[in-house]
Amino acid sequence: MIRYGILSTASIIGRFIAGIRESQDGEVYAIASRTLDKAKAAAKQFGIEHYYGNYEELYNDENIDIVYIPTVNGFHYRDCKNALLHHKHVIVEKPFTLTSKEALELFELARKQNCFLMEAQKCVFLPTTLKLKELLNQGIIGDLKYIELKAGFPGRFDYSHWMYDLSMGGGSLYGSATYTIELMQFLFDQPYFEIDGSCLKCPTGSDEICNFQLKINQRILVSSTIAMNVALKNEAVFYGEKGYIVIPNYWKSSQLDIYFHNGQTEHFDFPYQSEFVYEINHIHNCLKQDLITSPIMTPAKTIEACHLVVTLYQQWKGNHNG
Ligand X SMILES: NC(=O)c1ccc[n+]([C@@H]2O[C@H](COP(=O)([O-])OP(=O)(O)OC[C@H]3O[C@@H](n4cnc5c(N)ncnc54)[C@H](OP(=O)(O)O)[C@@H]3O)[C@@H](O)[C@H]2O)c1
CB neighbourhood size of 286 (10 A): 19
**By CB under 6 A, residue 162 contacts ligand X:** yes
For the chain, give the number of residues: 322
79 or 240: CB nearest ligand X: 79
Q: Is 178 in the site for ligand X (CB under 6 A)?
A: no
Q: Binding to ligand X (CB under 6 A): which residues in 181-210?
A: none
Closest separation in Å from C-beta 9 to ligand X: 3
Give least dist CB 16 to ligand X, A: 8
> How many chain residues touch ligand X (CB under 6 A)?
18
Q: 38, 40, 111, 145: which one contacts ligand X (CB under 6 A)?
A: 38
- Concatenating the DSSP letter of every residue in 220-245 gives EEEEEEEESSS----EEEEEESSEEE
C-beta of 72 vs 135, nearer to ligand X: 72
Contact indicator for 306, 99 with CB cutoff of 8 Å: yes
CB of 105 to ligand X, least distance (A): 18
Residue 31 · residue 51 · CB < 8 Å: yes
Taking CB under 6 A as the criterion, the residue among 58, 65, 84, 93 binding ligand X is: 93
Burial of 293 (0-12, 13-18, 19+ CB in 10 A): middle
- Is 5 within 8 Å of 88 (Cβ atoms)? yes
Whole-angstrom Cα distance, residue 115 to residue 160?
A: 36
CB of 7 to ligand X, least distance (A): 8
User: Comparing C-alpha atoms, which of 217, 258, 285 is closest to residue 134?
Assistant: 258
- Nearest CB to ligand X, comparing residues 34 and 87: 34
Residues 205-264 that bind ligand X (CB under 6 A): none
In the complex, the smallest distance separating the C-beta of residue 157 from ligand X, rounded to whole angstroms, is 8
- Residues engaged in binding ligand X (CB under 6 A): 8-12, 33-34, 38, 70-73, 75, 93-94, 120, 122, 162
